[in-house]
Amino acid sequence: MALLAGKTAIVTGGAQGIGFAIVKRLLDEGANVVVADIDEEKATQALRPLLERGLPVLVQRCNVAAEADHAALVETGVERFGRIDALVNNAGVTRDGYISKLAESDFDLVLDINLKGAWLGTRAVAPLFRAQRGGAIVNVSSLSGKIGNPGQTNYSAAKAGLIGLTKAAAKELGPSGVRVNAVQPGLIRSAMTLAMKPEIFAAKEAEVPMGRAGTPEEVANATLFLVSPLASYINGAVLEVSGGRGI
């Protein structure tokens, strides 16, 4: 039997990159998936191949920095699929710049989307998960939140903050049977990383003990594990998906 048969998951930022790979992996294991994205039209186009196959996926516009959007997301998911069992806080943005040149608005935006958005999502599902005495939350952090990246003080701070959020929420919600964990991807081949200059990408790849960058599907596999019953006694953990980079 599929690992997530009859379960429903919300994935924020699920229309591209790692988020899209997570959506496909959860669908493969029998889950219904609610995909939240700031650009509903673009997300619908990206997910059209899945929708045309009749898979149980629903796209809804959501600004993860807006509390009301999270409430609507949960309500829609319950109305459509009858339940919510998992939340993957994946939505994120970058606005890079060295401290002296980084605009305050770009610092605020990255913290709002990457960190506050995950907090709001967690708060939105918490009453439901507590009431049903179960649920799984996975926050998508980054190796940047462990080792820091120059020119990414905002992004590194937000991704480090997700680890603190994960551990604190795990302690708060654990007594209700709710698990909160995080994945911490390293260098992953995606549109964002492949936009780097080839020599910079090669230098970062050379830092990976396994000698290569990872794939979005490898992050999706780790996420699937954490939301599935296979991780039933894992709570407050941070699972690095980095090929050993940063150890």
By annotation, the residues acting in catalysis are 155
Instruction: Measure the CA dihedral 25/28/31/33, to 10°.
Output: 50
Instruction: Measure the CA dihedral 227/232/236/241, to 10°.
Output: -50
Instruction: List, in order, residues 6 or more apart from 233 with CB less than 8 Å away.
Output: none
CA dist., res. 140 & res. 181, Å (int): 9
Residue pair 56/23 in contact (Cβ under 8 Å)? The answer is no
Half-sphere exposure at residue 222, Cβ-oriented, CA atoms within 13 angstroms: 24
> Please, which residues bridge with residue 35 across strands?
11, 59
